[in-house]
Amino acid sequence: MIESRSAISFYWVGKDALKLVLTAFVAKLMVLVSMTSC
């Protein structure tokens, strides 16, 4: 029971971390595009 719970929580944390990394990457990309276009 404890192992499955920790695995599920680890999976959710990993998903959140991936989402954060993707958002940061997209934001950096947008900044770069806006800087080059100006």
Q: Is the dihedral of CA 8, 14, 18, 23 positive or negative?
A: positive
The DSSP line for 1-38 is -HHHHHHHHHHHHHHHHHHHHHHHHHHHHHHHHHHHH-
Q: What is the pLDDT of residue 6?
A: 87
Residue 29 to residue 24: CA distance in whole angstroms: 9
Q: What is the pLDDT of residue 2?
A: 64
pTM passes above 0.85: no
**pLDDT tens-place string over residues 7-23:** 888 888 999 999 999 99
Q: What is the pLDDT of residue 5?
A: 85
Write the single-letter amino acid at 5: R
